[in-house]
Amino acid sequence: MSGGRNQNPWSQVVRYVSLATMLPLSGLGGYVIGYAIDKALNTHFLAIVFLIAGTIGGFIQLIHGLGKE
């Protein structure tokens, strides 16, 4: 493994698939948490707030993951 890069193509596939699914899953997770809190508190706006927070978190993780190359 010259240059510190991983030469295994399957590990690269797994890495990029995990990066590709990180953003939508973090947004979905935020929405689900917000929806549950909305139902518990009988409100109607927290699902959107948590969706935005989850999406921002997903972007941060995506940028962090891409910076590891």
30-63: pLDDT as tens digits: 999 999 999 999 999 999 999 999 999 999 999 9
Contacts of 26 (CB under 8 A, 6+ apart): 54, 55, 57, 58, 61
Half-sphere exposure of residue 57: CA atoms within 13 angstroms, side-chain side: 14
Confidence band of 67 (pLDDT split at 50, 70, 90) = confident
Confidence band of 68 (pLDDT split at 50, 70, 90) = confident
What is the tens place of the pLDDT at every residue in 6-28? 578 998 899 889 989 999 999 99
- Give the predicted TM-score (pTM) of the model: 0.80
